[in-house]
Structure 1
Amino acid sequence: MDLDHARALAVDAAEAAGKLLLDGTRQPIGVRPKGGSGDVVTDLDLASEKLLLERILAVYPSHTVIAEESGLLGVSGAEWTWLIDPLDGTNNVAIGLPAYVVGLALCRAGRPMLGVVHDPVSAQTWSAVRGRGALASPGARMAARHRPSSHGPLLAWTQGYAVTRDDTKVREMRHALELGSRRVLQLWAPLLSWAMLARGDIDGMVGYQAEAVDLPAGALIAQEAGIEIRALDGGPFEDNIEGTVEDRSFVAAHPEAIQALLSLVHR
């Protein structure tokens, strides 16, 4: 498997989908409910996903593909699996908030090997191949930064759609984070939060039962930029998409800040 070729394909596809999304947000958008949790889907989600599926399956017809809206496609049980998030930030787009990205990940036996995130609004793309570092377009190497502040860290929060409002553990963690941080952002676009963490715009990120399709690409980019990710109990973070929903809870920060963030979570 030529991961450099796969990265080039994924970057081109994500940027083409981004142009479609950017053009589409300048026109009236069709929005309808999705599921019973208050989530929505737009015509742009479907159009972007169609473009991405066509490009990936045309080159890798023997791969498995898991797409946000279409589910499982391609060859079931293949060694290589693509994860497609055609519009991470759908709820933002639905209310006219320009904070959304396109995300692609390629996993081998469940483990992310390639991640690509494209921001149509800023025209920036971030990508990583496992063990080779993370790149920001047009090819600059990314390096996480540690910037201690007397006002506390600037954090991002993400949680899965199935997490209910009466989840006691979530309420306790959110309360502890709010008390001990400068600010907690919930952008409704976790892949964008991962990119911000990898760039050093924010200091840490906490996730609780995050969605499988939009976790691997961002987490791999952040890790390859130098971010450390741990499980909520401080143990190793298992970045395998075949794990349980509990395995998708995490804290992420610069290695010099990870212990402080874990302490804050368990305050």
Structure 2
Amino acid sequence: MHEEHDIYLKSIAWVLEAGEIIKQRLQEGTEFKQKTSHADVVTEVDREIESYFVSKITEHYPEHNIVGEENVGNRVSESPYLWIIDPIDGTSNFINRKKDFAISVAFGELHRGVFGIIYDVMAGKLYRAQKGSGAFLNDVKLNAVPANTLLENELVAISAPWGSLEEMKPWEPLYKLAAQVRGVRLYGATTMELTDMAEGVLGGYVQNYVNSWDYAAGRILLEELGCTFSDLEGNDIDMLYSGGLAAASTGLHEQIVRAIQEASEAK
């Protein structure tokens, strides 16, 4: 649809402008606050960037629904359209490493992604995809992911809680899955892991719990490249789903879900 493509083009410009704001704030320095724990933090820049997107959306599309991580301007309306925003995915990386974080913006309906944009600000990498029109890194079209690869040959992002043995016990199937892959890679930001899948250097993504704003844009990007997203049991999920997540090319996804199921049944 012409209107959806127009929204897509506007959003790319907004994301790039937001990236410039973030780079400027990094030079100036920023403060952070804890949310739920010392590992769950938010900065004034997170809120500023989310406010920036909310103001742009409100100005141009005041009837649209908005879901943002920081709940700066979340709203529910009768419109079928939905924005899902993570102003800075990888806030701890932003604070400690000054890199390996990204802006994530997804747009669509509850059961239909329209476009997804991920901007690795410090690397200058803009990942984008509009449904049915291919996925791109900057202006280079990305290739579809290989459909049939073996679990044992792949690097996979597998995330589960660390803590006492009792706290880790419910997630034993994910630890067993980790023993079946070539290696596990975690970057502290879902967007970084999903964009590595898009570039073909990471085979899959498995997370014990993830929020919609963490993966929504990456999902649209990767589905355009032939990947499948589901819960850990292999069930379909909508755009606002939060919970356990498995993502990979179709053949690898089936192997991941089967390995988790077999480990769960063996407990």
Which position in structure 1 is the counterpart of 2:184?
184
1:69-109 CA-to-partner distances (Å, cap 9, x unmatched) read: 13553553422111111000001112125110000111224
- Cα contact 1:112–1:239 (8 A) shared by 2: no
1:111 aligns to 2:112 (yes or no): yes
- Structure 1 CA distance for aligned equivalents of residues 150 and 75 of structure 2: 48
1:255 aligns to 2:250 (yes or no): yes
Deviates more, 1:252-261 or 1:197-206: 252-261
Residue 142 of structure 1, CA deviation: 3.9
Residue 50 of structure 1, CA deviation: 2.0
Residue 237 of structure 1, CA deviation: 2.2
- Structure 1 CA distance for aligned equivalents of residues 151 and 46 of structure 2: 41
1:126 aligns to 2:127 (yes or no): yes
Q: What amino acid maps onto 2:27 in structure 1?
A: R
Residue 33 of structure 1, CA deviation: 0.9
Deviates more, 1:26-35 or 1:256-265: 256-265
Deviates more, 1:2-11 or 1:139-148: 139-148
- Cα contact 1:57–1:74 (8 A) shared by 2: no
Q: What amino acid maps onto 1:63 in structure 2?
A: H
Residue 123 of structure 1, CA deviation: 0.8
- Cα contact 2:116–2:220 (8 A) shared by 1: yes
- Structure 2 CA distance for aligned equivalents of residues 173 and 229 of structure 1: 18
Which position in structure 2 is the counterpart of 1:227?
227
Provide runs of 4+ in structure 1 moved above 6 Å: none
1:120-174 CA-to-partner distances (Å, cap 9, x unmatched) read: 12211112222333222115244224695796320113569xxxx815332x133
- Structure 2 CA distance for aligned equivalents of residues 26 and 262 of structure 1: 44
- Cα contact 1:82–1:107 (8 A) shared by 2: yes
Deviates more, 1:109-118 or 1:45-54: 109-118
Give me the identity figure in percent.
Answer: 22
Which position in structure 2 is the counterpart of 1:19?
20
1:8-50 CA-to-partner distances (Å, cap 9, x unmatched) read: 1111111111122223223422111113474111122122112
TM-score, length basis structure 2: 0.85
Aligned residue runs from structure 1 range 1-267, under 5 A: 2-36=3-37, 38-74=39-75, 76-109=77-110, 111-145=112-146, 152-158=153-159, 166=167, 168-170=169-171, 172-234=172-234, 236-241=235-240, 243=241, 245=242, 248-265=243-260, 266-267=262-263
- Cα contact 1:88–1:101 (8 A) shared by 2: yes
- Structure 2 CA distance for aligned equivalents of residues 191 and 181 of structure 1: 21
- Structure 2 CA distance for aligned equivalents of residues 77 and 91 of structure 1: 35
- Cα contact 2:148–2:251 (8 A) shared by 1: no
TM-score, length basis structure 1: 0.85
Change (3 A) 1:94 1:74: same
- Structure 2 CA distance for aligned equivalents of residues 33 and 184 of structure 1: 28
Residue 258 of structure 1, CA deviation: 2.5
- Cα contact 2:83–2:107 (8 A) shared by 1: yes
SS for the counterpart of 2:167 is coil
Residue 188 of structure 1, CA deviation: 2.1
- Structure 1 CA distance for aligned equivalents of residues 175 and 46 of structure 2: 33
Change (3 A) 1:52 1:210: same
Q: What amino acid maps onto 1:119 in structure 2?
A: D
- Cα contact 1:61–1:75 (8 A) shared by 2: no
- Cα contact 1:114–1:220 (8 A) shared by 2: yes
- Structure 2 CA distance for aligned equivalents of residues 26 and 173 of structure 1: 43
SS for the counterpart of 1:196 is helix
The total of aligned residue pairs comes to 257
